[in-house]
Amino acid sequence: MAAAAGKAAMERHQSIDAQLRLLAPGKVSEDDKLVEYDALLVDRFLDILQDLHGPHLREFVQECYELSAEYENDRDEARLDELGRKLTSLPPGDSIVVSSSFSHMLNLANLAEEVQIAHRRRIKLKRGDFADEASAPTESDIEETLKRLVTQLGKSREEVFDALKNQTVDLVFTAHPTQSVRRSLLQKHGRIRNCLRQLYAKDITADDKQELDEALQREIQAAFRTDEIRRTPPTPQDEMRAGMSYFHETIWKGVPKFLRRIDTALKNIGINERLPYNAPLIQFSSWMGGDRDGNPRVTPEVTRDVCLLARMMAANLYFSQIEDLMFELSMWRCSDELRIRADDLHRSSRKAAKHYIEFWKQIPPNEPYRVILGGVRDKLYYTRERTRHLLTTGVSEIPEEATFTNVEEFLEPLELCYRSLCACGDKPIADGSLLDFLRQVSTFGLALVKLDIRQESDRHTDVLDAITTYLGIGSYAEWSEEKRQDWLLSELRGKRPLFGPDLPQTEEIADVLGTFHVLAELPADCFGAYIISMATAPSDVLAVELLQRECHIKQPLRVVPLFEKLADLEAAPAAVARLFSIDWYMNRINGKQEVMIGYSDSGKDAGRLSAAWQMYKAQEELVKVAKHYGVKLTMFHGRGGTVGRGGGPSHLAILSQPPDTIHGSLRVTVQGEVIEHSFGEEHLCFRTLQRFTAATLEHGMHPPISPKPEWRALMDEMAVVATKEYRSIVFKEPRFVEYFRSVSSPLF
């Protein structure tokens, strides 16, 4: 048996070697490569199928596979009939294996195509040739963008540098359940892609081929043996862990790598200055555990848990990396400022021994950087452990002063080390791992991501209605918009508390107030924006401002109205204008406002064309309103994953936004399976960061032209017709639901 297995392995190795020889550069076309990639994966899978289920099933699957391919080529109905007869003749047990096999083979075919596309893209990038690539406009190379702005569009190098270091792209991860493939299976698919890419490398040795072939078979078999279906719905905490895994795997190291590429691109256009480590170029936020709009599983306890979990993950990532930094910064020359700090730290650490655990043996005085970073490591350890205790038990004996409580405190000793190295002539060393670490701290902070809170406006109305009813002044829900605004503003300008613990509360009201109490309890840097779904009027925003004050939130979250349906988008500019006309609110926002527009609900309401055109016009009008009141407006784009929910090429989507709507500041959601496609692998992460950064810069420095009047008239006419036709089918056709269920059934 062992001899037979050895012989089979040798035959497989000879087979792969023959296939690799076929792919010698210059002898095989790109399309032939795709065929070879696919053939290799299918061949390995059929070997596995034979080992697991016997030669009869391998032969059966291979015959069906060939019949399918032949029918695809010649559309001969006889082949289709033969395939149908073969499949219906199977016993039930074999039917399950065969159907699973074909599902797996389709996945392998997709993986082969992805590897081929990535290979073709690399070749195109090396050649700088995109003439025959239909997808070329959807990609943005940061260096090419910088060069085009300077050489073709007449921008000065200084203008480009200033715009770049001041712009912000905030990518907001959301947990919408559009990712149908399990994370464990996605990881296996990623390893299959990696094996395939390495097998076709030019400098691969015979031993490497054999080892990679064995690894490829293992991963294919592991994927085949993995259940494709998630049997239990994920909890919000599970969704958050899945989302945060991308930070651990690709984003954490991908951000400093990308920022270094920007440094190189700047140098290549004549800017001999690095991007400042604290430039807010890339930021990350999340809705996982904060989006409670229609999701009863997202409770105040869940919000608290995901915030603490993210902080613990951030501290752990920093803690594991500080060791390497300490090992690297072994030099003895330092500034007087750093020497004094190192001596003080030595003395204070001995005095505070009852609170601190020494992680290093006595560091020699001639290694002052290690002393400073050792203190940082201590605080990171205690930051992580205190957060872990709070997460698991709700209390911790570790004193807060032993931890980092804000990012400025974390950055200060790192900045000290950077200044000292530069002062002593060691700037090249300072611009190495230390600069990368500074950029990570500046990007991710102590919270890893900032959690947005999203709640529907009616839920806030219910809370305020309970308060006014309790106070005996009427029903807030029944008041007009003017009366609501008058009452809200009078309370916001006053100081009296509105309610106490004796306020009668339903479960829904307790949930809303509990969320605000969590916002008050946790550090302010855990949170980003408070999004109000179905916002229609200024009172929706003022209601959240009042509830934040009543729940004693020391640093209130910025409040962001979300306009989703077609009518809400049309009314959005007038609603925002009324909001800006309120003196109290203008003093509150300090000249900055964020507005979110929803792609999914507007598309479902009016159809894609009408929704896209109305969002375009709404943004134009919102910008005019903001300019009139002297407010800097940030547009938050709630894009979905599919085209029907606002998905599509990010680069083109950004460049097609109306003039003056981005101005170096962009927020956009990254939903469901789009997270995997954007950040699932290192090269995907790099391309995603590059795409958003380059397109945002290009739009800000070279905005598109406004549509001509005749174009607008035509679009208005088309939108009316499109909305009418869309609604006649989706809302008025009684058979539509039956049709929709049929075409979206898993059987098809």
Q: What is the DSSP string of 63-109?
A: HHHHHHHHHHHH--HHHHHHHHHHHHTS-HHHHHHHHHHHHHHHHHH
Give the ranges where 534-681 is alpha helix by DSSP (H): 538-550, 566-580, 583-589, 599-606, 608-629, 650-655, 673-679
What span, in angstroms and rounded, lies between the C-alpha atoms of 572 and 537? Answer: 8
> Residue 568 and residue 577: Cα distance in Å, rounded?
14
- The backbone torsions φ and ψ at residue 592, rounded to the nearest 5 degrees and listed phi first, read -130, 135
For residue 222, the model assigns a pLDDT of 92
The per-residue pLDDT for 22 is 39
Q: Which of 125 and 427 is assigned the larger pLDDT?
A: 427
Establish whether 604 is a catalytic residue. Answer: yes
What is the C-alpha separation between 516 and 459, in angstroms, rounded? 13
pLDDT at residue 94, rounded to an integer: 85
Residue 656: is its pLDDT beyond 50? yes
What pLDDT, on a 0 to 100 scale, did the predictor assign at position 67?
A: 84
The amino acid sitting at 444 is: F
Q: What is the dihedral of CA 642, 644, 650, 656, to 10 degrees?
A: 180
Instruction: Pick the most confident of 478-492, 496-510, 649-663, 692-706.
Output: 478-492
Q: Lowest mean pLDDT: which of 73-82, 562-571, 636-645?
A: 636-645
Catalytic residue, from 604, 617, 637, 651: name it.
604
Cα 671 to its chain centre, rounded Å, is 7
pLDDT > 70 in the chain, percent: 88
Q: How far apart are the C-alpha atoms of 381 and 403, rounded to whole Å? A: 8
Domain 299-444: which CATH number of 2.60.40.10, 1.10.260.40, 3.30.300.30, 1.20.1440.90: 1.20.1440.90
Which residue is associated with the tokens 């950077």? 418
Residue 444 clears pLDDT 90, i.e. is over it:
yes
**Binning pLDDT at 50, 70 and 90, where does residue 461 land?**
very high
As given in the structure block, the two tokens for residue 395 are: 């209390």
Q: What is the pLDDT of residue 2?
A: 37
Amino acid identity at 59: E
Each domain of the chain, given as residue ranges in start order, spans 1-121+182-225, 299-444, 451-563
Name the residue type at position 599: Y
**Residues in CB range of 176: below 8 A, 6 or more apart:** 640, 641, 671, 672
Phi then psi for residue 537, to 5 deg, are -150, 160
In the predicted model, is pLDDT for residue 76 greater than 80?
no
Over residues 46-54, the mean pLDDT reads 89
Confidence of residue 642 (pLDDT cuts 50, 70, 90): low
Scan for tokens 């037979």, then name that residue.
Answer: 4
Place of tokens 């969002």: 615
The residue annotated as part of the active site, out of 176, 565, 617, 699, is 176
How far is Cα 412 from Cα 417, in angstroms, rounded to an integer?
9
Name the packing angle between helices 368-392 and 300-328 (round to 10°). 160
Query: Position 139: which residue type?
Result: E
Q: What is the mean pLDDT of residues 155-183?
A: 85
pTM to 2 decimal places? 0.85
- Check residues 233 and 411 and name the one with the higher pLDDT: 411
- Between 275 and 601, name the one with better pLDDT: 275
CA distances from 456 to 131, 504, 536 (A): 47, 21, 11
More confident call, 36 vs 338: 338
* Pairwise CA distance, residues 46 & 65, whole Å: 11
Q: Answer whether residue 724 shows pLDDT above 50.
A: yes
Residue whose tokens read 């000065």 = 156
DSSP state of 248: I
Supply angle C-alpha 102, 746, 221, rounded to 5.
30
Q: Report, as an integer, the average pLDDT of 48-63.
A: 88
* Position 599 confidence tier, pLDDT thresholds 50, 70, 90: confident
Q: What is the pLDDT of residue 624?
A: 95
* Amino acid 349: pLDDT: 62
Could you say which DSSP state residue 396 is in? -
**What's the rounded Cα separation, in Å, for the pair 245 and 241?**
6
Q: What is the pLDDT of residue 177?
A: 58
